[in-house]
Amino acid sequence: MYKDICQKYTPTKDNLIYILHDIQDSHPQNYVSEEAVEEVADYLKIPVNHIYGVLTFYTMYSTKPRGKYVIRLCESPPCYLRGSTNILKKLKELLKIKAGETTTNGLFTLELCACLGLCGNAPVMMINNDFYGDLNDGKVENIINKLQETEV
């Protein structure tokens, strides 16, 4: 089922990162499954464990199913200085999960990440491809509520 994605690229190892990106983006649960890894290994003629090594090295990939919305909160010093720990507390409270976990309804995954390069708007988080900056408790609540509403 991942054949189409693989075949967009020539079967050389240096395309591995891009194939994995595409596979992950195409999956509704935002992750790279075991069967996908095997298909890619077949296509690129490289061992499964090499792919697994790559998948677990880079923070943008996941080998576990994730929520529809992947929240990535920056935990670097510029955000920390402007209260990212409070934002983390608020997110945990709202979603009732810890960092690294997914909500039971499969909507949200909470992750911590390194500097997103938007320090002018610290504290910052990224939800899928969108950035949200100058966060405070109220703003976070609004963002999460809005996303939740669109799903109802």
Partner 1 sequence: MKYFRNLILIETNESSIQKGSKEIFQALKKELMNKDLTDEINVLETGSLGLFGEGVCAVVYPDNIVYCNLTLDDIPELIEEHFVKGRVLTRLVMKKTVRNDIPLGYEKRIVLKNSGVINPENINDYLGVQGYEAWEHALLKKKPEEIVEIVKASGLRGRGGAGFPCGLKWSFTSSIESENKHVVINADEGEPGTFKDRLIMEGDPHKLLEGTMITSYAVGAHTAYIYIRGEYKLCIERLQKAIKQAYDYGLLGKNIFDTGYNLDVYLRIGAGAYVCGEETALIESMEGNRGNPRNKPPYPGQAGFQQYPTVVNNVETVTNIPSIILKGADWYKNIGTPESPGTKVFTILGDVDVPGLCEVEMGTTLRTIINRYGGGMKQGSRFKAALVVEQQVYSSLMRCSM
Residues that bind partner 1 (CB under 8 A): 12-18, 20-21, 44, 50, 53-54, 57-61, 76-78, 81, 113-122, 126, 129-133
Nearer of residues 83 and 106 to partner 1, judged by Cβ:
83
Nearer to partner 1, 49 or 105 (CB): 49
Q: What is the DSSP letter of 55?
A: H
CB under 8 Å to 141, separation ≥6 — which residues?
Answer: 90, 94
Q: How far is the CB of 3 from partner 1 (least distance, A)?
A: 19
Token pair in block for residue 37: 């890894």
Give the nearer residue to partner 1 in terms of CB position, either 104 or 123: 123
Closest distance of CB 47 from partner 1, Å: 12
As measured in angstroms, the least distance from the Cβ of 143 to partner 1 is 10
Q: How far is the CB of 32 from partner 1 (least distance, A)?
A: 11
CA distances to 37, 38, 42, 51, 138 from 11, rounded to whole Å, are: 14, 14, 10, 14, 48
CB neighbour list of residue 35: distance below 8 Å, 6 or more residues apart: 1, 2
- How far apart CA 60 and CA 72 sit, in angstroms, is 10
Nearer to partner 1, 6 or 152 (CB): 6
| Crossing angle of helices 137-151 and 84-95, rounded to 10° | 30
Nearer to partner 1, 37 or 122 (CB): 122
